[in-house]
Amino acid sequence: MSETEAIERETCDDNQASSVARRTFLKGLAGAGAAISLSSKVAWANGEIGFWAKDLTNEQLINMYTTIQRIRWYERTCVDKMLTEPGYRGYNHFYVGQEAVAAGVSAALRNVGGIMEADLVYSTHRPSGHAIAKGVDVRKMAAEYEFKATGLNKGYGGEMHIADKSVGFMGADGMIGPGYVIATGSAFAIRARGSKQVVVNYGGDGTYATPHFHSALNNAALLKLPFVYVLENNLYHQYAHYSYSCPMKDIASAAKTYGIPGVVVDGQDVFQVYNAAKEAVERARAGEGATLIEAKTYRYYNHWGAPGAKPDELGAFGYDPLAITSFRPEREVRAWMARDPVDISRSALISWKVLDRAKASAIEAAAKKEMVEAFAWADKQPFAKPEDGLKNVFVEGTVPARQFG
């Protein structure tokens, strides 16, 4: 029996364990690199998972891998700019390490047709991966990060408020929690219109402790809304381990309270994420209601920015001045990096003979080139003008009253 299994058995036998013991248990799993704490299926590297993705063509599988690489190199390019260019005005809550979640979910969605036809996605303060996977223009996104007039929001939104309705990316939300309420409102509107669209809302582990999480799931279940909640559990909300705000090892267990399916997946494996998302989206589209998906994943950088990182190197280690302390053990970060979503997807596709190593390398090189060029284009764009800051805040002219429905 492994140390992790022994800890888990001891914890299960002790129903009277204190909250302190529970937090110790969860942190022990994380430190051992086993915080994913899933069923044995999750440990199956590349075999059985292939059958789960059997409905995907080779082209679709390659597209998922390409999406992972595009997200990875958008972020790494931004990290390097933050570390090497003092005049760079952008900033980011980096998504590196979590790419498989966004890529797998978006592969199960309709991503064309605008807000009246495409499936809709609501994001978080860590939106870049969700946006790229949904099809947002990366040049305009890079420009928005630098507050340029040609950005997605004309330079007035910045990273935490990017949006692109043309692909159904309804926007990021800098607050923790309210996005769910807006997303379920959209799901209600879709149901009222009789549309077959589905709404996906992303959130982090910290949202469990907000009232918005529970009210959104309650309403989605009560009204059987076409709603999929994807909770990306990267173990930390800002600088605190999620065990400080959630009494359960698996947050997806909360779904039982509302009578909806709760699914736990390995967020490092794009094929598992896709499989769960596909089932949840099909269920929602068929009018069968909401699903809560918890993806166990990990971010390679700290909550915000790149303290502890070095140019041209992956990951951030050690002291974070914003956290006052080194809140994540380096061994924990490296343990998760050993299960990298890029490596997992690439190895699987090569083993299935969908790709060879040369083609995989070419896809990565193309993604890197695209993102370097996107940020170079953004650098040349004009800044937003302060005097124009209110231009897109208020509606101009007369807006006719309209009854909903």
- Segment 278-320, tens digit of pLDDT: 999 999 999 999 999 999 998 888 776 776 778 878 777 666 6
pLDDT in tens, 178-226: 777 888 999 999 999 999 999 999 987 777 667 788 888 899 999 999 9
Q: Report the alpha-carbon distance of residue 298 to residue 152 in Å, rounded.
A: 28
Q: In what order do the strands lie in the sheet with 169-171?
A: 169-171, 120-122, 199-204, 227-233, 291-296, 262-266
Q: Please compute, for residue 46, the number of CA atoms within 13 A of its CA located in the half-sphere on the CB side.
A: 14
Q: Burial level of 4, CB count in 10 A (0-12/13-18/19+)? A: middle
Q: pTM (2 decimals)?
A: 0.81
Query: What torsion do the CA atoms of 333, 305, 323, 7 make, to the nearest 10 degrees?
Result: -20
More confident residue, 68 or 24: 68
Identify the CA nearest to 143 among candidates 125, 168, 162, 124.
Answer: 162
Strand runs labelled E in 119-208: 120-122, 169-171, 199-204
Q: In angstroms, how far is CA 363 from the centroid of its own chain?
A: 22
Q: Which domains does the chain have, with CATH numbers?
A: 34-381 (3.40.50.970)
pLDDT band at 376 (very low <50, low <70, confident <90, very high): very high
Q: Report the alpha-carbon distance of residue 133 to residue 228 in Å, rounded.
A: 16
Q: In the predicted model, is pLDDT for residue 390 greater than 60? A: yes
Question: What percent of the chain is modeled with pLDDT above 90?
Answer: 42
Q: Report the alpha-carbon distance of residue 179 to residue 159 in Å, rounded.
A: 15
